[in-house]
Each structure stands twice: as structure tokens, then as C-alpha cells.
Amino acid sequence: MQIGLTPTASINGVEIRVPPKTLITSPKVWTMLFGGNRDVASETLRHALPPQLLGLAEEAAQILSITWTKIKPYGDIPDGDLIAVDYDWNGESLLVLRQMSRRVHDDGAKFGIRLPIAEVNLEFLNRPAWRLTAATSIGRISEDVKAKADVNALQTESLSTTAGEKVVYCVLSDYGDYLWQAVNVLLEETEADLLVFDRPVIGAVGSTLKGCGIYRHAHFSRRESIGLIYQWMFEFANHLHQQHPNLQLGITSMAYGVEKPDLAVFQHFDLFLP
Ligand SMILES: [Zn+2]
């Protein structure tokens, strides 16, 4: 099974074309998942690899390094009945949620919350400076220059909002700190058993260009922001697991930005929801 980031022009910043018979150094990594016995998997892998990958072919100078990482199986939804609510950053009363979670727990069921991590209703929280904006310029204009223009445009735009309008905020802006606190309060109030990260996080809705081009956030460029946003999500997931040992964490493919789970998902989340 091949897993990992699906190669797309929007994620891969650089394409390297190698003419025949020339050598190149490329830190290409394949991640593969095996179930069951490790020795059997190792033998299967050795037989399945083409000779050039094993460094046997004359012109191949590839260094094969295999690292085995044991991961826990995923897909274990909490035992018993699960009642999940969609939290939509619309200023729902925490009191109502707390009462609901207590009723669910009293009935012996588990309580789950599906949370749009970075997508927030503007009527609830309107902070133009926190918005994730994909720089759209292609060519020689630096992304930072474009980002400055975006910031100015955002600052002068009207604050009036359409009812129900939602935007994606960049977790590398101060929104990240806000979210960190808000989710901790949410979990303390509701004693939720499952929290699912949902909706777009690494890119704006409807945009195939991933990342954030606003230079005032804690990243320098759109390209750099992608890795840092993932890093932020993993740190946040680790923090939540540490603070709430019984909490199960899930993430949807939309929030994670790819259709198939990769190794990092299994290391930081309990569930991956297509
Ligand atoms: Zn940003």
C-alpha cells in the first residue's frame, strides 16, 4: 500500500527532471504500511523491491535505508454508543453542550465533537489579520510582497459580514493561541470522549493552492507555512492527548489535506476519517 502526500503541483514546490545516465541526490522517501508479522513483511519487501532500488543495477547509486516504525492500529472508535455533535464556532452555549454531554454520559454513551479547527463563523470571531490567504501570484513577484498587499487589502475591507459567512484562519497567526485555549475550555466543559479535527486547515476553501501567504504570521512564505501548519497540528494533538489521556482524537481527510493517511497521522491521531 502506498501512502503519503498525493503529489500535486500545489504541494510540491520543486520538480527535478533527471536526464538519463546522470546522477542526482534526492531525499525521496517512501512510506509503506505492513500488518502482521514483521519478519514476513521484511521478506515480502525485499522480494518486491526492484533491483535498482537495492543498489544492484550498474547505474543506480541509490542508498536504501529502511526504518521500521511500529504504529498502533487505527480505527478504534470508542466502545458503545457515540453521540457526536457538530461544533460550528457560532457561539453555541457551553452550558447547553455541557448539559448535553452529561445526559449522554448518564445514558452510558460516549460524547464526541466534530470541530472545524480553522474555519470560523465571522459573526462569532472576525479577525482579518488572522485569515489564511493563499498568495496567487505566479512568477517573479516575491510571495512576501504579495502577502503585504493582501494584508493591506484585508485591513481596509469592510467589517460588515454576511450572516453565516465562514473563513479559514491561519493557525500560525495568533488564532493558534486562541484556538488552543478555546479547545481546552471546550474539552473541560464537555468532558468529550472524542474530538475530530474537521474542515480545511492548510488551505483556503475552494483553493487548490495550499499554505498561507500572509507574512505577518509566524512563517515567512506560503511554501514554508505548509510544513509549519502540520507541525502545529501535531503539537496540538500531542498536547491534547497529554492533557486529556482518555480523549480520542480524529482528523478528517479534508482537515489533513490529503485523501490517504500517512505515518504522521497514525503517530498523532487515533482516527482518520475519509
Ligand atoms: Zn499564515
**What's the pLDDT score for residue 27?**
55
Residue 154 is predicted with a pLDDT of 47
Return the percentage of the chain with pLDDT > 90, whole number.
33
| Mean pLDDT to the nearest integer, 107-127 | 91
Q: In whole angstroms, what is the distance from residue 166 CA to residue 147 CA?
A: 21
The total of other beta-carbon atoms located within 10 Å of residue 272's CB is: 18
* C-alpha cell of residue 161: 459580514
Q: Residues 27-65: pLDDT tens digits?
A: 556 666 667 777 787 777 777 766 655 554 444 445 556
Give me the residues near ligand 1 (ion), CB cutoff below 5 Å.
170, 172, 212, 214, 217
Centroid of chain to Cα 270: 14
Model pLDDT, residue 113: 94
Q: Ligand 1 centre and the CA of 171: distance in Å? A: 7
How many other CB atoms are found less than 10 A from the CB of residue 120? 25
> How far, in Å, is the centroid of ligand 1 from the Cα of 224?
10
Q: Is the dihedral of CA 94, 100, 105, 106 positive or negative?
A: positive
Residue 138: pLDDT band (50, 70, 90) is very low
In the 8-state DSSP scheme, what is residue 19?
-
- Distance of CA 39 from the midpoint of ligand 1 (Å): 44
Lowest mean pLDDT among 105-114, 152-161, 207-216, 239-248: 152-161
pLDDT confidence band for 13 (50 / 70 / 90): very low
The C-alpha R_g of the chain, in whole angstroms, comes to 22
Q: Residue 150 is placed in which grid cell?
A: 493582501
CA 213 / ligand 1 centre spacing (Å): 6
Cα-to-centroid distance, 266 and ligand 1 (Å): 26
Cα of 65 to ligand 1 centre, how many Å? 35
- Cα of 3 from ligand 1 centre, angstroms: 27
Q: State in Å: Cα 149 to ligand 1 middle.
A: 14
Split at pLDDT 50, 70, 90, the class of 2 is: very low
| pLDDT of residue 150 exceeding 60 | no
Cβ proximity of 163 and 115 under 8 Å: no
What are the tens digits of pLDDT across the range 170-226?
999 999 999 999 999 999 989 899 999 999 999 877 777 889 988 889 888 888 899
Q: 225: CA distance to ligand 1 center in Å?
A: 7
What is the average pLDDT across 17-26? 66
CA torsion 116-117-122-124 (nearest 10°) is: 90
Q: Please check whether residue 210 is in contact with residue 270, taking contact to mean a CB–CB distance below 8 angstroms.
A: no
- Per-residue pLDDT at 133: 86
What's the gap in Å between 194 CA and the centre of ligand 1? Answer: 28
Greatest CA separation for the chain: 69
Residue 151 makes CB contacts below 8 A (sequence gap 6+) with 129, 214, 215, 216
Quote the ligand 1 centre to 265 CA distance (angstroms).
22
